[in-house]
Amino acid sequence: GESVGLHLPTLSVQEGDNSIINCAYSNSASDYFIWYKQESGKGPQFIIDIRSNMDKRQGQRVTVLLNKTVKHLSLQIAATQPGDSAVYFCAENPDNYGQNFVFGPGTRLSVLP
Amino acid sequence: KAGVTQTPRYLIKTRGQQVTLSCSPISGHRSVSWYQQTPGQGLQFLFEYFSETQRNKGNFPGRFSGRQFSNSRSEMNVSTLELGDSALYLCASSLADRDTEAFFGQGTRLTVV
């Protein structure tokens, strides 16, 4: 069935280093993807999105890369800070109608001092 | 600009009871989606409403239902509660009809005892 999966459940990085969080999606028809950050006790927070007609999109300290050939999505965080510690989810919209997102299981990012 | 507001934040119910959760979307947003988040299943889509009509529905039993009012506020109802319904219920709102940023509220933590 449709699914969005993550390769690593946890990721630890040194403060100041770059982080890369990966995601594999299964539905080749998905044309819209979002990365979310969820801190403890809070709802998911929108980070960045990308449409299938793009390979790369940059935000403030974050970059999302989309490889449609292998159905892979990644989130790069530059100069990782303690405030980046959270669980990160990728989400795809596999439907052509409506906002129905399929979420990956999430990756917990821990930033070490 | 106020974000997505969910009430109540916490709720404890007994098996067999029913519960109603409320979501007020960001002003101007017409799409409201509901998700269930549990440690075991992650974030799972329940249903989406757009202009007072249910547009998408996830794979949940009929005990889970929802509705949307003319002001875009939405409610979801769970009848005959089961222990497995204990979860964080999240609401997300979007401006347009599809493939746009979805913003989440902080969720309602439901505990069924």
Distance CA B48, CA A40 (A): 25
Q: Which residues contact B39 (CB under 8 A, 6 or more apart)?
A: none
From chain A, the residues in CB contact with B44 under 8 A are 103
Asked if B66 is an interface residue toward chain A (Cβ–Cβ < 8 A), one would say: no
- The larger pLDDT score, comparing residue A1 to residue B113, is at B113
For A78, half-sphere exposure in the C-beta direction (CA atoms, 13 angstrom radius) is: 7
Check residue B39 and give its pLDDT: 85
The pLDDT of residue A1 is above 70? no
User: How many angstroms away from the CA of A55 is the closest CA of chain B?
Assistant: 16
Distance CA B55, CA B13 (A): 29
For chain A, give the percent of residues with pLDDT over 70. Answer: 91
* CB contact at 8 A, A37 and A88: yes
Classify strands A32-38 and A86-92 as parallel, antiparallel or unpaired: antiparallel
In DSSP notation, A12-30 reads: EEETTS-EEEEEEE--TT-
The pLDDT of residue A15 is above 50? yes
Neighbours of B61 (CB within 10 A): 11
User: How many angstroms away from the CA of B51 is the closest CA of chain A?
Assistant: 12
Give the one of A32, A36, A41 whose C-beta lies nearest to B99's C-beta. A32
Distance CA B22, CA A112 (A): 38
User: Residue B23 corresponds to which amino acid?
Assistant: C
Asked if B98 is an interface residue toward chain A (Cβ–Cβ < 8 A), one would say: yes
Reference B87, options B106, B110, B67, B66; nearest CA is: B110
User: How many angstroms away from the CA of B104 is the closest CA of chain A?
Assistant: 6
Give the one of A34, A97, A105 whose C-beta lies nearest to B102's C-beta. A34
From chain A, the residues in CB contact with B35 under 8 A are 101, 103
Check residue B1 and give its pLDDT: 63
Sign of the torsion angle spanned by Cα atoms A50, A51, A57, A59: negative
Check residue A4 and give its pLDDT: 54
Note whether A99 contacts B104, CB cutoff 8 Å.
no
Q: State pLDDT tens for residues B44-79.
A: 999 999 999 998 899 999 999 999 999 999 999 999
What's the average model confidence in pLDDT over A74-100?
A: 91
Nearest chain A residue to B88 by CA distance is A43
What's the average model confidence in pLDDT over A28-41?
A: 92
Check residue A5 and give its pLDDT: 45
Check residue B98 and give its pLDDT: 67
pLDDT level of residue A6 (50, 70, 90 thresholds): very low
Distance CA B95, CA B101 (A): 8
* CB contact at 8 A, B88 and B44: no
Give the one of B56, B97, B107 whose C-beta lies nearest to A43's C-beta. B107
The pLDDT of residue A18 is above 70? yes
